[in-house]
Amino acid sequence: MKTKPGQERSGVRARLLDAAVVLFAEQGVAGTTVAEIAKRAGVTSAMVHYYFKTKDQLLDAVVAEKLVGEFIAFIAGELDRGAPDPLALVDQLVWRIVEASDVWPWLPPLWVREVISQGGALREKLIQRVDLGKPERFKAGLAAAQKAGRVNPGINPQLTFMSIMVLTMLPLSMAKDWDRIPLIGRVSKQDLGRHVVALLKHGLAAAPAKTQGRKA
């Protein structure tokens, strides 16, 4: 079946975005040229400029379509379903992020390099586009559970979502080098997921009430 012109153009644009995120993850936005993106996508530099007049327009598309349109939407699905127990939701979010790193291997290194890092080229663009309502609802649910005595009173609900992102994204960004790092060694993403869930849930859970010892 012959490809229609519109479909072909759409395919080229998608290849350019796919090439861009892989290169940005590997060598950073500043270290990546339009020519390199074109070469990775199998087209000419002129084709990059046809779809994206400037590099900044390309970055806008990466944030809107790859980070927000794919990853954030993927994570938001868990927040929308919203397990009534915030600890269960923590569990689901951790595994969702681990799963996302398999779907989009470029995601963790790009996130650490260009979103988390000070001066990251995508940070401000992402902040402007993200719907903060969903994390706010997660924070409110956690605060309510804390008030009810089901969550550790020492936990700051405002920092919990960020903690989930950092505890998963940072090690996942180095996943291909884990076996070369003596302090990590041979572990899998499943090991990481279980570790982060245990760390967060046991740290978040309210301490059991102290029982008085039996009097002699």
Query: What value does the mean pLDDT of the chain take?
Result: 86
Q: Look at residue 158 and tell me whether its pLDDT is greater than 60.
A: yes
Residues 74 and 95 in one domain: yes
Residues 97 and 131 in one domain: yes
Residues 8 and 71 in one domain: no
Residues 114 and 41 in one domain: no
The CATH number given to whatever domain includes residue 11 is 1.10.10.60
Residues 104 and 18 in one domain: no
Question: Residue 33 domain-assigned?
Answer: yes
Please report the pLDDT score of residue 5 as a whole number.
44
Name the token pair of 95: 């595994």
Distance from C-alpha of 15 to C-alpha of 136, rounded to nearest angstrom: 34
Residues 109 and 178 in one domain: yes
Residues 194 and 90 in one domain: yes
CA distances from 154 to 117, 164, 187 (A): 27, 16, 30
Please give the average per-residue pLDDT across 13-39, as a whole number.
97
Domain count, the chain: 2
Residues 13 and 72 in one domain: no
Nearest to 114 by CA among 126, 132, 128, 101: 126
Q: How confident is the model at residue 207 (pLDDT cuts 50, 70, 90)?
A: low
What is the pTM for the complete model shown? 0.83
Residues 48 and 66 in one domain: no
Question: Residue 212 domain-assigned?
Answer: no
Q: Look at residue 166 and tell me whether its pLDDT is greater than 90.
A: yes
The CATH number given to whatever domain includes residue 96 is 1.10.357.10
Q: How confident is the model at residue 104 (pLDDT cuts 50, 70, 90)?
A: very high
Distance from C-alpha of 193 to C-alpha of 174, rounded to nearest angstrom: 14
Q: How confident is the model at residue 131 (pLDDT cuts 50, 70, 90)?
A: confident
Q: Look at residue 142 and tell me whether its pLDDT is greater than 80.
A: yes
Please report the pLDDT score of residue 1 as a whole number.
44
Question: Residue 165 domain-assigned?
Answer: yes
Please report the pLDDT score of residue 79 as a whole number.
72
Choose the weakest-confidence range: 73-77, 171-175, 189-193, 207-211: 207-211
Please give the average per-residue pLDDT across 155-165, as a whole number.
90
Please give the average per-residue pLDDT across 137-143, as a whole number.
86
Residue-number span of the structural domain to which 38 is assigned: 1-53
Domain limit, last residue, from 12, 33, 53: 53
